[in-house]
Amino acid sequence: MIRIPPVIVLAALAGLCIAPISRAQSLDTQRPVVRDALAAAEAGRLDGATSSAIVRHPLYGWVEFASLRRQIDTVSTQQAQAFLKRYEGQAVAEQFRSLWLAALARRQEWPTFLAAWKPTANLALQCADLQARQATGRTDAAWTPQAQAIWRKGAKSLPDGCDPVFNLLASQGGLAPALRWERIEAAAAERQTGVMRSAARGLPAEEAAQAADYAAFIDAIHPRALNWPKSERSRRMAAHGLARLAQSDPDTAERLLPQYADALGMGESERGQVLYQIALWTVASYGPDSARRLSNVPESAYDERLHEWRVREALSRGDWPAALAALKKMPPAQRADSRWRYFEARMSEKTGDRASAQRLFRETAASPTFHGFLAADRLEQPYALCAWIPNDPATAKQLVARDPAIIRAMELWQLERPGWATAEWNEALSRFDDTQRRIAVEVARDNGWFDRAVFSLGRQPDEQRLYTLRFPLHHDDTIKREATRHNIDPAWVAAEIRAESIFNPKARSGANAMGLMQVLPGTGAGVAKRWSIPYAGAASLYDSDTNIAIGTAYLREMEDKYGVPYVAIAAYNAGPTPTARWQSQRPGFDPDIWIETISYKETREYVARVLAFSVIYDWRLNGTALPVTDRMMGRVQAKRKAFTCPTAQMPKS
């Protein structure tokens, strides 16, 4: 059994863990002690003296949680129930409940499991609940449909803990062949052939063999499929297999499609599915057959993604009439997006329809986006930006800041516990109205937790205009100093930080990019050496001043190498090899068209995002902005532009 220090038990029984902290011992001064206590609890070294020092701290429950989590499989029922009661309604209780329920399921302590059960989206726990109800004789009319509903969610693999439930369901006749085929077909659409084979095991022998052959075809095209039954199911399975092949080998998929289509009687829908993938994986690298293969796809198979690629393919060839025709084939909602409305204006301009171009530019210029800013530049008019800066009473902010869950969230963020902080944050926001939620974002900003504005705003359209929240400024003295040193627009540096880390100095990517500007350690070491920036290893990248110094110097190197910022921004995101390919494929292209024809979706959107962010940060820093058309080209001395709020978009008071 896990041993909880006596002082924790006594304090908890006395209710001290939720008492307010004294003013003399502020949260700031106690933070190092709490940090050490959490580390000690996780290592099993928490002692009574450390516990007593923080027993009144708002995060005391998380210290207890850390102690209990370490040996969750040996926590007693009494300890667990006491913890859940003490922290009922708090995020820490629900975090613990999930861990404890999983431990109870492993031990098959089903009565205790059911006593602690609360509905959850966790499929493993849902299956454990079904198993517990069956084991304790509490199955009811809802049991079978609930188990079948989980089965239907299994287009991909389900938790192993669901297997006993499905075995029981099958033994009771609850997995009829039709239901098995339903999951097999869902798995086939996701190319999950292992799931297909598993779901087929309970089918009659002939059907199971057919399902296995379907799975084999999706794994690797084989000629046996030419003799499959000419059924709708066979046609769908053939389409899934050929579509998968098209993703790696569109040439072979195109060559084989007629054989299987004729043999199985594939219709437009199945053929279109394969032709779609053949075209997509050809045009994504602008292969020589791109236009032909796009034209082969029936219009009924087109979706927004392929509509976009049809436009880009024509743009990449400089075929402006074809690009305009492709734009006009887009669905109305897609065509009305500022990106495509801008390019429809550009193509109208290039094909001589100046009146349509001017009208479309005017419509697009009302959008505070990259393409809206480009459109305003074409019209030589100010940028449209309608900022909303609420004037809430101080008491409203104080009330939100004093919410216990918000206090805990802010402290956990300061202690670099983002997962726990987010759990507390989500619990608080589940109780808040729109005004409280917006004010909570302000509180988070004041505590250096800037990404809450990105992840918690936007439910209401007006919240998009909270620019001072959505585009925070921090370390601006360092940004300005390093930008001046390298003759780079400081708004560009701020925009890179916003795009890379949302001003989180401890950010770390899966590729090990670190800090505010997401610098790789190898890159950081090289840049630091070339520019004589003090550097003491990868950990230096978590120092904000060092990271900004290195990141800004690297931007200078990128611009020097590529000549213009818009290509430098692409290289900053994608690296030198794909950037060189894009340059060689489309030399001399207009910057806006070059950006739109970048083949990587992430990089294409990244370049547009950083350039738009740069305009907004210029507004934040200076009240005016370099025209984005000049900014892309590195013309930092260009005549600056003003901002205006069109009457139709005037912010609410």
Residues with active-site annotation: 500
Q: Which residue has the tokens 């910057």?
A: 591
**Which residues 6+ apart lie within 8 Å of 229 measured at CB?**
210
In total, the chain counts a number of residues equal to: 653
| 225, 190 Cβ separation under 8 angstroms | no
**Rounded to 5 degrees, what are φ and ψ at 333?**
-65, -40
Please give the DSSP secondary-structure letter assigned to residue 613. H
DSSP string, 343-387: HHHHHHHHTT-HHHHHHHHHHHHTS-SHHHHHHHHHHT-PEE---
**Which residues 6+ apart lie within 8 Å of 427 measured at CB?**
90, 91, 94, 405
- Using alpha carbons, select from 301, 350, 620 the residue that is nearest to residue 474: 620
| 449, 410 Cβ separation under 8 angstroms | yes
Q: Helices (H), strands (E): how many in the chain?
A: 38, 2
- Using alpha carbons, select from 28, 33, 17, 40 the residue that is nearest to residue 93: 17
The C-alpha atoms of residue 305 and residue 324 are separated, in whole angstroms, by: 16
Q: Which residue has the tokens 């740069």?
A: 614
Q: For residue 514, list its beta bridge partners.
A: 508, 519
The C-alpha atoms of residue 71 and residue 68 are separated, in whole angstroms, by: 6
The C-alpha atoms of residue 115 and residue 133 are separated, in whole angstroms, by: 11
Q: Which two tokens stand for residue 276?
A: 């779609």
Phi-psi region of 151 (alpha: psi -120 to 50; beta: other; left: phi over 0): alpha
- Using alpha carbons, select from 385, 366, 377, 379 the residue that is nearest to residue 627: 377
